[in-house]
Amino acid sequence: MAETEIRNFTINFGPQHPATHGVLRLVMELDGEVVERLDPHIGLLHRGTEKLIEHKTYLQAVPYFDRLDYVAPMNQEHAFALAVEKLLRIEVPRRGQLIRILYSEIGRIL
Same domain, 73 and 32: no
Query: In degrees rounded to 5, what are phi and psi of residue 106?
Result: -60, -45
Q: Tell me whether strands 24-31 and 9-13 are parallel, antiparallel or unpaired.
A: antiparallel
Asked if residue 33 and residue 72 are part of one domain, the reply reads no
Interval 63-87 mean pLDDT: 87
Please check whether residue 4 lies inside any domain of the structure: no
Residues 20-44 have pLDDT tens digits of 666 778 899 998 889 999 998 877 7
What is the model's pTM? Answer: 0.62
Q: Which of 38, 35, 8 is nearest to 24 (CA)?
A: 38
Residue 58 lies in a domain: yes
Burial status of residue 64 (CB atoms within 10 A of its CB: 0-12, 13-18, 19 or more)? middle
Say which residues have a Cβ less than 8 Å from residue 26's Cβ, sequence separation at least 6.
12, 13, 14, 20, 38, 39, 40, 41
The pLDDT of residue 17: 64
Instruction: Indicate the SS3 state at residue 41.
Output: strand
DSSP state of 67: T
Domain count across the chain:
2
Same structural domain, 57 and 23: no
Please state the rounded mean pLDDT for residues 59-73. Answer: 84
In a shared domain, residues 36 and 85: no
- Same domain, residue pair 65 and 30: no
